[in-house]
Structure 1
Amino acid sequence: MAKKTKQSYGNYIIDNKEEILKRKKKIIKLKKTMLLLVVMISILITLALTLPTFNLSEILVSGLVNLSEDGVKTTTKLQKGTNIFKIKTKKIEKELEKNPYILEATIIRKYPNKLSIAINERKIAFYTEISGGFYVIDDKGVVLEKKESIEGIEALRIEGIDETCLKIGEQIKNIDEDKIKAICNIHKFIKENSLFEKYNIIKLEVNDFVDLKLYVNNLHMKLGTVDKVNSKVARGFSIIESGTLGEMKGYVDVSFEGNPVIYKEK
Structure 2
Amino acid sequence: MEKGKIISIEDRIPKLKKQRKRKTNRRLVSIISLFFLIVITIVYFQSPLSRVQQIDVIGNHFLSKAEVIEKSEIHEGSSVWRVNKQQAAEQLKRDPKIKEAAVTFSFPNKLVIKVEEQDKLAYLSKGKSFYPVLDNGTVLKTAPTQTLDELPVLHGFKEGKMLDKMMKSLRDLPEEITNSISEIYYDPKKTDSYHIQLFMNDGFEVSASLKTFSEKMVYYPSIVSQLDPNIKGVVDIEVGSYFRAYDAKTSDQEEQPLPDQ
Where on the TM-score scale, by shorter chain, does this alignment land: which range? 0.5 to 0.7
Q: What does 1:15-164 correspond to in 2, within 5 Å?
A: 49-69=45-65, 71-73=67-69, 82-89=78-85, 92-93=88-89, 96-97=92-93, 99-161=95-157
CA distance in 1: counterparts of 2:237 and 2:75, whole angstroms? 58
Which one of 230, 234, 237 corresponds to residue 254 of structure 1? 237
Q: For residue 218 of structure 2, give the secondary structure of its aligned residue in structure 1.
A: helix
CA distance in 2: counterparts of 1:85 and 1:183, whole angstroms? 41
Q: CA deviation at 1:109?
A: 2.1
Q: CA deviation at 1:160?
A: 1.6
Query: Does 2:247 match 1:265?
Result: yes
Does the CA-based 8 Å contact 1:128-1:159 persist in structure 2?
Answer: yes
Who is 1:219 aligned against? Answer: 204
| Alpha-carbon spacing, 1:110–1:152, altered in 2? closer, same or farther (3 Å) | farther
| Alpha-carbon spacing, 1:90–1:186, altered in 2? closer, same or farther (3 Å) | closer
| Alpha-carbon spacing, 1:159–1:152, altered in 2? closer, same or farther (3 Å) | closer
Q: CA deviation at 1:189?
A: 1.4
Does the CA-based 8 Å contact 1:134-1:146 persist in structure 2?
Answer: no
CA distance in 2: counterparts of 1:115 and 1:202, whole angstroms? 42
Does the CA-based 8 Å contact 1:55-1:80 persist in structure 2?
Answer: yes
Structure 1: give runs of 5+ residues left out of the alignment.
1-42, 166-171
Does the CA-based 8 Å contact 2:152-2:184 persist in structure 1?
Answer: yes
Does the CA-based 8 Å contact 1:125-1:154 persist in structure 2?
Answer: no
Does the CA-based 8 Å contact 1:222-1:254 persist in structure 2?
Answer: yes
Q: CA deviation at 1:47?
A: 5.2
Does the CA-based 8 Å contact 1:221-1:236 persist in structure 2?
Answer: no
Q: CA deviation at 1:121?
A: 0.6
Who is 2:185 aligned against? Answer: 205
* 1:207-266 Cα distance to aligned partner (Å, 9 max, x none): 21442222113221111x3333223212333222x1633143321112223x52332335
Paired letter, 1:254: I
Does the CA-based 8 Å contact 2:153-2:184 persist in structure 1?
Answer: yes
**Aligned residues: CA RMSD:** 3.4
The answer to which structure has the higher helix fraction is 1
Paired letter, 1:136: P
Structure 2: give runs of 5+ residues left out of the alignment.
1-38, 249-261
> Paired residues, what number?
206
CA distance in 2: counterparts of 1:249 and 1:101, whole angstroms? 39
Paired letter, 1:114: K
Does the CA-based 8 Å contact 2:52-2:109 persist in structure 1?
Answer: yes
